[in-house]
Amino acid sequence: MNLNLTTKEIQTDIQIVLVKHKFIKENKKLLKSLNFKASNEEAVLLIESKKLYVGFEDEDDDTIRVAIATAIKELNKTNIKSASIKTDFKLSVIVDGFELGNYQFNKYKSKDETKDEKDIYIIVDKIGKDTQKIFEQQISICNAVNKVRDFINTAPDDFYPDTMANEAIKISKESKLKCKILDEDALEEKSMNAMLAVGRASRHKSKLIHLTYKPKKKAKKKIVLVGKGLTYDSGGLSLKPSDFMTTMKSDKSGGSAVLGIMDTIAKLNLSIEVHGIIGAVENMIGGDAYKPDDILVAKDGTTIEVRNTDAEGRLVLADCLCYAQDEVKDIDYILDFATLTGACVVGVGQYTSGIMGNNNILNYQVVQSAWDSGELATTLPFNRYLKKTLKSEIADICNISNTRYGGAITAGLFLEHFIKDENKQKWVHIDIAGPAFVEHSWGYNPHGASGAGVRMTLEFFRSLCK
């Protein structure tokens, strides 16, 4: 799809018309005969009239994104080559709908199912510097989301720690970022034993990825992003049931989101310094696998009693958070991203991220950024009672709690243990286990990966620079 911005009334094969529910004006009789009620995700293509009517029920941004996505999906069912739309809604929202709704993952299809490229024209009143900037930046953001979707959707045999590191190197070259890759020897030198334990049964060696963006002007803020990059998670010796293993290529969603954010940050030209740190690991079984009852020593010296090898992401993140705080000084914000717990999905549903941390004001800022960007998020408050459930009788902390309840929060509290006192109020944990990968399409998100975390974080960055 080629998305274009214009002020002219372009002659195209089809004109896209957004129609508010119960406010049908043109072609009213014909549309009524077709039982078109202009409900959400409802569309009617009238070839003779050269019109594609798409319904929407509310005027909020995300409803409009879904309506635009519905339009491009309908067009993709046809051989129509061009379409135009004139609308009073936000340009950024229109771009999101087209670019995110148009996404398809056909890498493994033996037969090419992609349609011919379509030319889409968004007609606006005038094109000034601000309009052009919004248009270009929003396309960059959507491209990053779609790149993240590609990473996550790629089969685990084709995307492992080395692959993730190579993608980071590509991004660093394209976006002129500094890139450092730590192999297992370097991880051992830095005493990142928890991360090493998770990956040691895999034939694919673990990697730590550290990308750095520094603006040309003095940075207003210094931000660290940490991503869980489990390129595949079998559960280890605490083996997952087969039904729960089939989507575990998505366990790299947190790390992939960090890659996508770093890919875009330079293009947005924001005056913030950003460090993207990813623990790229594969959790497998074998004679060298770490075991329940093992005691691991994390980078900061914390001893961890392992009671479940499927609670591996928090072990990787623990070492990565320690690394981040040791390597980056004077941090303003730390955000970590992970498909960490099924409990978060149970608690808030498939489409919503769980936001946790010690600073309630900061938590709410991240939630607001999520909603402003089109993502769904909610806070899950910590409490001192759940922290007690992580107590170990033989080590400093246990990697799972002694209760099945509050699992998303106890996982967040485990990570909080590895945040230094001076950073406790600067840290936010983002559990994207729900929205990162859903096995049916929803709104403008297709089956599979959604790219959760990218838009909310970039919106958060923008809010810091206002």
Dist. CA 417–CA 56, nearest whole Å:
46
Is 314 annotated as catalytic? yes
Query: Rounded to the nearest 10 degrees, what angle do helices 253-268 and 161-175 cross at?
Result: 10
Whole-number pLDDT of residue 78: 95
Is 133 annotated as catalytic? no
pLDDT band for position 115 (cuts 50, 70, 90): low
CA angle 338, 342, 343 (to 5 degrees): 105
CATH number for domain 144-464, candidates 3.40.630.10, 2.40.50.140, 3.30.420.40, 3.40.50.20? 3.40.630.10
Taking only the tens place, the pLDDT of each residue in 328-383 is 999 999 999 999 999 999 999 999 999 999 999 999 999 999 999 999 999 999 99
Taking only the tens place, the pLDDT of each residue in 253-292 is 999 999 999 999 989 989 999 999 999 999 999 999 999 9
CATH number for domain 2-102, candidates 3.40.1160.10, 3.40.220.10, 1.10.10.10, 3.30.70.1520? 3.40.220.10
Question: Which of 166, 160, 147 shows the shortest CA–CA distance to 105?
Answer: 147
Task: For the chain, give the percent of residues with pLDDT over 70.
Answer: 99
Contacts of 414 (CB under 8 A, 6+ apart): 314, 318, 390, 397, 399
Q: Is the pLDDT of residue 112 over 90?
A: no
Contacts of 342 (CB under 8 A, 6+ apart): 407, 433
Dist. CA 399–CA 389, nearest whole Å:
10
Q: Is the pLDDT of residue 202 over 70?
A: yes
Fold: same for 2-102 and 144-464:
no
Residue 136: strand, helix, or coil: helix
Q: Kindly name the residue from 240, 267, 387, 462 that is annotated as catalytic.
A: 240
pTM beyond 0.85: the answer is yes
91 with 53: CB under 8 angstroms?
no
Q: Kindly name the residue from 147, 200, 228, 314 that is annotated as catalytic.
A: 314
CA angle 355, 277, 415 (to 5 degrees): 45
- Alpha helices of 218-295 — where are they, by DSSP H? 242-245, 253-268
Domain residue spans of the chain: 2-102, 144-464
List 212's β-bridge partners, or say none.
178, 275
Q: Is the pLDDT of residue 71 over 70?
A: yes
